[in-house]
Amino acid sequence: MTILEVRDLTKRFGGLVAVAGVHLHVQAGELLGLFGPNGAGKTTLFNLIAGSLKPDRGEVVFNGQTITHLPPHLRARKGIGRTFQVVQVFGELTVLENVLVALAHPALTRWLPLGRYDPPGRRQRAMEVLEKVGLADRASELARNLPLGLLKRLEVARSLALRPKLLLLDEPLGGLNLRESEQLLEVLLGLRGQITMVLVEHNVRMALPVCDRAVAMDAGRIIAEGRPEEVRRNPRVVEAYLGEGGDA
Amino acid sequence: MDWTTLSALVVDGLAVGSIYALTAFGLTLVYGLLRVLHVAHAGVYAMGAYAGWLAFSAGGGLALALLAGAACAVGVGLFLERWFYRPLQGRPPLVPLIGSIGLFLAMGDLLRILFGPYQQGFPVLPPERVAGPITLPQLAVVGATAFLFLLVYGVVTRTPLGVGWKAIAQDAEMAAAVGIPLPRYTQAAFALASALAGAAGVFVGVYYNQIYPTMGAVPAYKALAVVVLGGLGSSWGTVVAGLLLGVVEAVAVAFLGTRFPPEGVAFVAMILVLLFRPQGLLATEPQG
Amino acid sequence: MYAVTVLTQLCIYAILTLSLNLVTGLAGQVSLGHAAFFGLGAYTVGVLTTRGFPFLTAWLLAAVVAAGWGLLLGSISLRLREDFLAIASIAFNFVVVAALLYLPYFGGAYGISGIPKPMGSVAFSVLVLATTLGVAWCHERLRRSDLGLAWMSLRESEAAAEALGVDVRRFKVTAFVLGTGLAGVAGGLYAAYIGVIRPEDFGFPLSVTLLAMVAVGGMGTMWGPLAGAFLLGGFAQAFAFVHNYQLVLYGLLLAVVMRYRPQGLLGRRPT
């Protein structure tokens, strides 16, 4: 079942065409990897799906609904979660409170949501999510004090608390060392099958093997699509990466 | 209104506008790098004015006064960068803003304690006509400002500083990643901004033949307006905006008389720009 | 009696700093024009009660008027980049003061005098204290509520808050409306208490002072702004003996606290 569909999506920045008429399907439950050299347009495509950018042409359809012009917070409520390339945690809040923000959202539809933000039921659910990513023991620490590896996991936890049907991950391995990368990938693998995930990643070596399917982009277009190994060996893909110094 | 009166107003406006431009340029430059409104800049300006005045009182001429003013300003500016702004990077912008306001208040009051609350005369240049309606102080201020900005232009375009500053303003993380030493470039920016502000302070003293401890207050407000008009991302935009504001103010005051306060022009302009063109009249908006 | 005067004054500062804390401390919107809303509230009561309206009605309207203008500023803030908001709020403050100064309806530079106190001095001071406690209660309720959490999330990262379903735009405006409304409440009390109000009482310097109180005391908490109000509000009294050095000490206090304890004296957990 197709959970996300992108049709003829185009985005220009001045004279530069970042994304050129892209078509993409994402199947429910799969882990899709979006790869490509710098400037390929993968981050732009990602932002168009997440809602932080509006396309010049084309459509984004999620679960059968056209969400092309829906603002990010409404996409989140429809079940799309996302993490950020440059980590955007709520620094002055505790790890637990970071997750509680995600759990506040049914109440936030009211004009004056005055109920306490940490009733026992919600705390419980927040702790469960934190356990899933292995952060339960750091729950009462201020987010700003955590190292990058843990912050990435916190972002995942936050999005998970939304009970999303689709999780978008923007360069989750960026800035992480080998051990941290492995730990994060472990968390993602643990979610496989339960949630549909799309990840944009530069670290092809580590990320490609965990994907069910891969898509490669270059100069705003999709140049290859299919099983990870096939995409990796695709000559057009190799050429695109060699053009920037070789990364596959 | 006849040509002579109008041209006299325009020249006056250019002189005052030059001073706005000198102060606002540095403010925009620092903002681009730190994303903080360096309110204490107005205090640096006032201290520069007093340093220049001291040099003049000790027997120096205009050139020496300018040198002393700029040097003192640079010293104070670099100290502030090192002791105050650098350790506070990464904090919410409100923090350095409040501290900067505190520093501004303290500097002004310090000048009052040291030199008394009354104005001091600064008669370096006699206000005589030199060419048509143009007086000597006007010529000196506009001429020296033009020269200074020429120097700045040279620095910005000929040295790696200009490119570096632009890169940092666009994306500080990326700039650091490609090897630009942020602390040194920030220091250079503070040095340049403060030197210009110190010079501006001396010019004001010379132009109006007076300096006083709270003289920083007016340029503090005006510089904000100029920065908004020119666009927070564009240093050269603020230069143009400063000159423009000076001229518009001079002409507007002449036409509207005493019923409309001259500060009003700056504020009305600022509000109009904020409402209809928030990125400034000539901004090159750095993409966040 | 002097003690009561000082206490009443501190209470008014307390309401003002708590109300500003909603906008700036919790929601992170830097407002350098809060004094304007204080003034709008004060003038509403001043104008209405000197024309015979009962105090309670005028007081209620003071909150509504202030909140209404707060709604405007909040809506404008949505269109501006964050840094421009500070500048816009300064401009707003100046415009309000200028309007109060130049529109003859408001008494010009002489302001409004002879504002009647609706009850005896002592009773009124009790009212002020009671209001302060009420505002503090509201503040705590808000801080621990979903709305408060939403505010803090958008303060820390608007993008992340949105990605978690928070309607950033709506809650920003809500912060302004509630914060400025409470400032209007303080203004109404102030006008009746002091009897004479002038435009210059509500200018930019007061806005700066209020913001400094919040920053120095500790943003985001309740005790922080109260401590700030107490410390800086009582500064003039406490430092009366160094009358000549008050301003430089005050400025240095702001600079030093921000430099060495940026989260404020009672701010939330140091790093």
Q: Is C178 helix (H, G, I), strand (E, B) or coil?
A: helix
Mean pLDDT for all residues in chain A: 90
Q: Name the residue range of residue A176's domain.
A: 2-89+164-242
Total domains in chain A come to 1
Residue C160 to residue A125: CA distance in whole angstroms: 20
pLDDT given for residue B233 in this prediction: 67
Q: Is A149 among the domain residues?
A: no
Q: Which residue among C98, C216, C262 places its CB closest to the CB of B91? A: C262
Q: What share of chain C has pLDDT > 70, as a percent?
A: 99
Q: Is C161 among the domain residues?
A: yes
Chain position carrying tokens 């790869």: A35
* CB-based contact A206:A181 (threshold 8 Å): yes
Q: Is A116 helix (H, G, I), strand (E, B) or coil?
A: strand
CA angle (B22, B25, B29) in 5-degree steps: 145
Q: Is A5 helix (H, G, I), strand (E, B) or coil?
A: strand
Entry field: residues in chain A: 248
Interface test with B, best of C219, C235, C253, C254 (most B CBs within 10 A): C254
Q: Measure Cα distances from A233 to A203, A218, A230, B68 in Å.
A: 16, 15, 5, 68
Mean pLDDT value across residues B10-28: 91
Q: Does the distance separating the beta carbons of C98 and B102 come in below 8 Å? A: no
Phi then psi for C118, rounded to 5 degrees?
-75, -10
Is residue B286 very low, low, confident or very high in pLDDT (cuts 50, 70, 90)?
very low
Q: Is C13 helix (H, G, I), strand (E, B) or coil?
A: helix
Min Cα separation B28/chain C (Å): 12
Q: Is C234 left (phi over 0), alpha (psi -120 to 50) or beta?
A: alpha
The string of pLDDT tens digits covering residues B147-160 is 999 999 988 888 88
pLDDT given for residue A107 in this prediction: 82
Question: Which chain C residue's Cα is nearest to B226?
Answer: C87
Is residue A92 very low, low, confident or very high in pLDDT (cuts 50, 70, 90)?
confident
Q: Does the distance separating the beta carbons of B105 and C251 come in below 8 Å? A: yes
Residue B214 to residue B108: CA distance in whole angstroms: 6
- Using the Cβ of C100 and the Cβ atoms of chain B, whether some distance falls under 8 Å is answered with no
Which residues from B are below 8 Å from C80, CB to CB?
274, 278
Q: Is A119 among the domain residues?
A: no
Q: Does the distance separating the beta carbons of A101 and C150 come in below 8 Å? A: yes
Pairing type for strands B134-135 and A31-35 reads unpaired
Q: Which of residues 179-218 of C touch B (CB under 8 A)?
A: 208, 211-212, 215-216
The string of pLDDT tens digits covering residues C120-132 is 888 999 999 999 9
Pairing type for strands A213-218 and A31-35 reads parallel
The string of pLDDT tens digits covering residues C64-85 is 999 999 999 999 888 887 677 8
Mean pLDDT value across residues A115-139: 92
Least confident of A134-138, B134-138, C47-51: B134-138
Question: What CATH number should be reported for the domain holding residue A14?
Answer: 3.40.50.300
Q: Which residue among A89, A145, A162 places its CB closest to the CB of C165? A: A162
**Does the structure show a pLDDT above 50 at A246?**
no
- Using the Cβ of C82 and the Cβ atoms of chain B, whether some distance falls under 8 Å is answered with yes
The string of pLDDT tens digits covering residues B176-188 is 878 888 899 999 9
pLDDT given for residue B230 in this prediction: 80
**Does the structure show a pLDDT above 80 at B263?**
no
Q: Is A134 among the domain residues?
A: no
Residue C186 to residue C189: CA distance in whole angstroms: 5
Range among A244-248, B74-78, C233-237 rated most confident: B74-78
**Does the structure show a pLDDT above 60 at C216?**
yes
Residue C115 to residue C124: CA distance in whole angstroms: 14
Greater model confidence, A128 or C239: A128
Q: Is C263 among the domain residues?
A: no
Residue A19 to residue A26: CA distance in whole angstroms: 18
pLDDT given for residue C195 in this prediction: 92
Residue A131 to residue C67: CA distance in whole angstroms: 44
Q: Is A111 among the domain residues?
A: no
Is residue C201 very low, low, confident or very high in pLDDT (cuts 50, 70, 90)?
very high
Q: Which of residues 252-271 of C touch B (CB under 8 A)?
A: 252-255, 257-259, 262
Q: Is A31 among the domain residues?
A: yes
Min Cα separation C39/chain A (Å): 26
**Does the structure show a pLDDT above 90 at C141?**
yes
**Does the structure show a pLDDT above 90 at A175?**
no
Q: What DSSP designation does C117 have?
A: P
Is residue B260 very low, low, confident or very high in pLDDT (cuts 50, 70, 90)?
low
* CB-based contact C73:C33 (threshold 8 Å): yes
Is residue B100 very low, low, confident or very high in pLDDT (cuts 50, 70, 90)?
very high
The token duo for A190 is 């643990």
Mean pLDDT value across residues B251-277: 75
pLDDT given for residue B287 in this prediction: 34
Is residue A243 very low, low, confident or very high in pLDDT (cuts 50, 70, 90)?
low
Residue B203 to residue C194: CA distance in whole angstroms: 44
Entry field: residues in chain C: 271
* CB-based contact C195:C201 (threshold 8 Å): no
Residue B180 to residue B169: CA distance in whole angstroms: 12
Q: Is C97 helix (H, G, I), strand (E, B) or coil?
A: helix
Mean pLDDT value across residues B266-287: 67
Q: Is C239 among the domain residues?
A: no
Q: Measure Cα distances from B49 to A108, B119, B192 in Å.
A: 54, 12, 16
Q: Is C236 among the domain residues?
A: no
Q: Is C267 among the domain residues?
A: no
Sign of the torsion formed by the C-alpha atoms of B104, B107, B111 and B117: positive
* CB-based contact A216:A225 (threshold 8 Å): yes
Question: Which chain A residue's Cα is nearest to C165?
Answer: A73
Residue B47 to residue B50: CA distance in whole angstroms: 5
Q: Is A79 among the domain residues?
A: yes
Q: Does the distance separating the beta carbons of A144 and C153 come in below 8 Å? A: no
Q: Does the distance separating the beta carbons of A116 and C144 come in below 8 Å? A: yes
List of residues 6+ apart from C251 with CB closer than 8 A: B101, B102, B103, B104, B105, B106, B107, B108, B109
Q: What b-and-e string marks burial along B58-90, b requiring 16 or more CB atoms within 10 Å of the CB?
A: eebebeebbbbbbbbbbbbbeebbeebbeebee
Q: CB-side exposure of A13: number of CA atoms within 13 Å?
A: 9
Q: Is C139 among the domain residues?
A: yes
Q: Which residue among C82, C94, C258 places its CB closest to the CB of B95? A: C258
Greater model confidence, B288 or B166: B166
Q: Is C264 among the domain residues?
A: no
**Does the structure show a pLDDT above 90 at A70?**
yes
Q: Does the distance separating the beta carbons of B92 and C28 come in below 8 Å? A: yes
**Does the structure show a pLDDT above 50 at B62?**
yes
- Give the helix ranges, DSSP H, for chain B: 3-34, 41-57, 62-80, 94-115, 136-158, 160-170, 172-177, 182-208, 217-230, 235-256, 262-276
* CB-based contact C231:C56 (threshold 8 Å): no
pLDDT given for residue A248 in this prediction: 46
User: Whose CA is closest to C162, among A50, A152, A153?
Assistant: A50
Question: Which chain B residue's Cα is nearest to C204?
Answer: B221
Bridge partners of B120, per DSSP, are: B211
Question: Which chain A residue's Cα is nearest to C153?
Answer: A90
Q: Is B118 helix (H, G, I), strand (E, B) or coil?
A: coil
- Determine if the pTM surpasses 0.80: yes
Q: Name the residue range of residue C183's domain.
A: 2-201
Count of other CB atoms within 10 angstroms of residue C249 = 15
Residue A226 to residue C102: CA distance in whole angstroms: 72
pLDDT given for residue B288 in this prediction: 28
**Does the structure show a pLDDT above 70 at B139?**
yes
Residue C255's H or E segment, with its range, is helix C246-260
Total domains in chain C come to 1
Phi then psi for A213, rounded to 5 degrees?
-145, 150
Residue C77's H or E segment, with its range, is helix C55-79
Mean pLDDT value across residues B91-102: 89
Is residue B279 very low, low, confident or very high in pLDDT (cuts 50, 70, 90)?
low
Q: Does the distance separating the beta carbons of C245 and B113 come in below 8 Å? A: yes
Q: Is A179 among the domain residues?
A: yes
Mean pLDDT for all residues in chain B: 86
Mean pLDDT for all residues in chain C: 91
The string of pLDDT tens digits covering residues A219-232 is 889 999 999 999 88
Question: Which chain C residue's Cα is nearest to A115?
Answer: C145
pLDDT given for residue C266 in this prediction: 87
- Give the helix ranges, DSSP H, for chain A: 42-50, 72-78, 95-103, 120-133, 148-161, 178-191, 204-207, 228-233, 235-242
